[in-house]
């Protein structure tokens, strides 16, 4: 049985195709301002990679910020449910998922079936999101993929006093002008952001095992800073954490099909 999940987030579109519980193909790409178009492009990419046509898919679930604009899906499900499902499927001992994407951060508590028990999210402010890190990487003139590594070699992290992204960017530029080292600024930024995400997660009660998903989970500096601030180990899930929303949607598509068969 072939099913798929399609996650159109605020910054990236993701698709996963499952064949009887196994990932057949996956794709991630920057989204444009038209969710419908981004969804179609990413789905076509995942289908081409698997050598399939859309008509081969038995059921498709859409999720993410742009889910209501995806016309080709059979059903839409919230990203919170999808991230919870995928994390618990990847490791059944996961009880809390921290998803940090481009535009928001979420903390989700799940039970042993991957169903959501409680959740909280912050989409009011960019300062706890991936976009914050993108803006800071630009200000530091460091490729985004290297920002986390830079942070891990810091000897003397600076303290960032501004929470607001716009003011923090100005602060970063003046720290650079004052001769502060890039690793120390990067580390200060990660710590500041880790404190905001940790406060969000703590507001619903920390529940080990904790896993991280979303594109920001690829940022090693952020991952370590969050572990340090929480005082807990964060579980590394197998595969690309950025596709977990789409993976959860595909897993739910598979469940939906199983229900119709039984």
Alpha helix segments (H runs only) across 10-104: 35-50, 79-90
Q: Minimal CA–CA distance to 89: which of 70, 69, 110, 106?
A: 110
Q: How far is the CB of 120 from Mg ion (least distance, A)?
A: 15
**Footprint of ligand ATP on this chain (CB under 6 A)?**
9-12, 64-65, 101-104, 130-131, 133-134, 144-145, 148, 214-216, 218-219, 242
Nearer to Mg ion by C-beta: 183 or 248?
248
Cα separation, 59 vs 54, in Å, equals: 10
Q: How far is the CB of 28 from Mg ion (least distance, A)?
A: 11
Alpha helix segments (H runs only) across 75-115: 79-90
The edge-to-edge listing of strands for the beta sheet with 96-100 is 116-122, 105-110, 96-100, 210-213, 234-235
**Residue 241 near Mg ion by CB under 5 A:** no
Q: How far is the CB of 189 from ligand ATP (least distance, A)?
A: 12
Pick left, alpha or beta for residue 51 (phi over 0 → left; psi -120 to 50 → alpha; otherwise beta).
left
Nearer to ligand ATP by C-beta: 60 or 98?
98
**Residue 101 near Mg ion by CB under 5 A:** yes
Stretch that binds Mg ion, among 26-34, 100-108, 124-132, 187-195 (CB under 5 A): 100-108
Nearer to ligand ATP by C-beta: 28 or 251?
28
Q: Which of residues 1-60 bind Mg ion (CB under 5 A)?
A: 9
Q: How far is the CB of 221 from ligand ATP (least distance, A)?
A: 9
Residues 6+ apart with CB under 8 A from 173: 139
**Residue 128 near Mg ion by CB under 5 A:** no
Residue 145 touches which of ligand ATP, Mg ion, none (CB < 5 to 8 A by kind)? ligand ATP
Helix or strand or coil: residue 186? helix
The edge-to-edge listing of strands for the beta sheet with 75-76 is 22-30, 12-19, 2-8, 59-63, 75-76
Write out the residues near Mg ion by the rule CB under 5 A.
9, 101
């Amino acid at each position: 049985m072939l099913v798929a999940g399609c996650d159109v987030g605020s910054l990236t579109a993701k698709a996963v195709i499952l064949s009887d519980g196994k990932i057949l193909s996956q794709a991630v790409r920057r989204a444009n301002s038209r969710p419908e178009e981004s969804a179609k492009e990413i789905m076509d990419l995942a289908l081409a990679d698997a050598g399939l046509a859309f008509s081969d898919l038995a059921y498709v679930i859409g999720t993410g910020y742009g889910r209501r604009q995806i016309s080709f899906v059979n059903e839409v499900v919230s990203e919170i449910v999808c991230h919870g499902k995928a994390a618990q499927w990847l490791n059944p001992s996961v009880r809390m998922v921290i998803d940090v994407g481009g535009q928001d951060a979420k903390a989700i508590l799940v039970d042993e079936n991957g169903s959501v028990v409680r959740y909280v999210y912050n989409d009011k402010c960019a300062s706890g999101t991936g976009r914050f890190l993108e803006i800071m990487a630009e200000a530091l003139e460091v490729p985004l993929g290297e920002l986390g590594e830079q942070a891990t070699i810091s000897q003397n992290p600076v303290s960032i006093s501004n929470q607001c992204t716009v003011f923090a960017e100005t602060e970063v530029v003046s720290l650079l002008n004052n001769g502060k080292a890039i690793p120390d600024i990067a580390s200060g930024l990660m710590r500041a952001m880790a404190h905001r995400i940790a406060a969000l997660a703590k507001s619903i009660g920390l529940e080990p095992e904790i896993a991280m998903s979303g594109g920001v989970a690829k940022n090693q500096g952020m991952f370590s800073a969050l572990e340090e601030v929480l005082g807990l180990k964060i579980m590394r899930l197998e595969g690309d954490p950025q596709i977990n929303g789409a993976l959860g949607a595909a897993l739910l598509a598979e469940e939906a099909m199983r229900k119709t068969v039984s």
